[in-house]
Amino acid sequence: MSEKESLKRKTDAAIDAFKSQRLRWVTGRSQVKVEIDEERYRQVVDVIMRDEIERHMIIGALKEKGLLTVEELSQLTGLQPNKIIQHMIALRRNGVITEAGEKNRQYLYRLI
């Protein structure tokens, strides 16, 4: 994957992540109503932001290519396969992706 392509993919994912309900909910607040201190809250938001950007990179790749395995996703996005599997579990639970057959003894995934 070229540098330009990787940059484009990452930025598009970041834009989509900031459009997502989950990230908007935590970054759009002027006051935090939960019982944790500011520093801890920022750390939580950082984790959510990183996760959302990575998930949108996966969604972007699936939108572009249609059917992909974890290995292919890893090559396209530059993320570690175990990290991708973690995101796939969350995305599957949220009803964003589903399995659609097998390839080289690996599940193929597609967007719902």
Q: Which residues bind another protein (CB under 8 A)?
A: 3-4, 6-8, 10-12, 14-15, 17-19, 27-28, 30, 42, 45-46, 49-50, 53
The nearer residue to another protein, 27 or 98, going by C-beta atoms, is 27
The nearer residue to another protein, 34 or 104, going by C-beta atoms, is 34
The nearer residue to another protein, 18 or 107, going by C-beta atoms, is 18
Q: How far is the CB of 99 from another protein (least distance, A)?
A: 29
Q: How far is the CB of 6 from another protein (least distance, A)?
A: 8
The nearer residue to another protein, 17 or 76, going by C-beta atoms, is 17
**Cα 105–chain centre separation:** 24
**Full 3-state SS string of the chain:** CCHHHHHHHHHHHHHHHHHCHHHHHHHCCCCCCCCCCHHHHHHHHHHHHHHHHHHHHHHHHHHHHCCECHHHHHHHHCCCHHHHHHHHHHHHHCCCEEEEEEECCEEEEEEC
Q: How far is the CB of 51 from another protein (least distance, A)?
A: 11
Rounded Cα–Cα distance for residues 77 and 67 (Å) = 14
Q: How far is the CB of 82 from another protein (least distance, A)?
A: 20
